[in-house]
Structure 1
């Protein structure tokens, strides 16, 4: 039996956007890109990574999610552009960025961060960079190779999608990749 949960709060990605992201992954595959691609069913917009938590804390997290979600009306985003963290020379994470109503996205993320801090979770010190992780490098990738692969995709954009809920997931790490189990859903204000 699992003693702790590896938990995070995220915005789910609709199937149509997952297909769009998979197409980007396919276009980025090349001999010089040694990347472990994230399964599209696992791609999400992380708002808060909670780390390993005791299952008894789930109700408190759910209550704070409900409060944060109720403070912001639903809004629209779109997946757009590609990039890497931390930079081309040391690329570790390949991502697709987000556009649309980023002010509302940041508002709900800030509220959630503050509300979760009030029940004992450490506040994130890094600035929030909304993105969808699509892959992680297995080893160093040449900056020119990765730059050349990303350049043709810099202006790609998905259709817009509605953000109307937050979800709390437990992530179980397995050799074949992470398995995410839904623990709670909070609906945004109408």
Structure 2
């Protein structure tokens, strides 16, 4: 069994990310995502047997191992599920051409054909930066407003990968799945 999701690693401005962590440090109790773990999730699969991973790979193979050209920007911050009860702090992803939504639709439709249920919630491309346990809510909301027009960078191309999530005492580590390890 492996815990997996389908996603794309992204690069954001390190200096701005460190500044973000510092600015929100006293306002959030939670776990910050390491810079090398930052990604966009297209579909979370969860724990799954290795033979099913091979079926997933075959199903979405037109997307894998390809450099997909696009134009996306990382700008501003948002929260899930609501501003009054934030559990996830994320960087917004602007995708004017809808390439990420098209990738997500392809994945959802392809996996639905082999028995995976489609997501009910609409796809909102984002980069999770903190899993919030508690906040100083009023100060947090004010700080959030100051970041609405802050740019964290952009990407001109991405790679879609099947990513394994390893849970370690120090936190989650994400790595591109090595199909040589699957039997």
With normalisation by structure 1, the TM-score equals: 0.84
* 2:145 pairs with 1:148: no
Deviation at 1:91, TM superposition (A): 0.7
* 2:71 pairs with 1:76: yes
CA contact 1:47–1:109 (8 Å) conserved in 2: yes
Structure 2: distance between partners of 1:34 and 1:58: 35
> Match for 1:177 among 171, 174, 182?
171
The 5-angstrom pairing of residues 121-160 of structure 1 reads: 121-139=116-134, 141-160=135-154
* 2:157 pairs with 1:166: no
The 5-angstrom pairing of residues 1-190 of structure 1 reads: 4-14=1-11, 17=12, 19=14, 20-30=16-26, 32-68=27-63, 74-139=69-134, 141-183=135-177
Query: What is the count of residue pairs matched by the alignment?
Result: 178
Secondary structure, in 3 states, of the residue corresponding to 1:116?
A: helix
CA 1:27–1:165 in 2, change beyond 3 Å: closer, same or farther? Answer: same
With normalisation by structure 2, the TM-score equals: 0.87
CA 1:112–1:71 in 2, change beyond 3 Å: closer, same or farther? Answer: farther
Q: Structure 2: state its 5+ residue gaps.
A: none
CA contact 1:75–1:101 (8 Å) conserved in 2: no
More strand by share: 2
CA 1:21–1:66 in 2, change beyond 3 Å: closer, same or farther? Answer: farther
Deviation at 1:42, TM superposition (A): 1.1
Q: Structure 1: state its 5+ residue gaps.
A: 186-190
More helix by share: 1
Indicate the larger mover: 171-180 or 125-134. Answer: 171-180
Indicate the larger mover: 119-128 or 104-113. Answer: 119-128
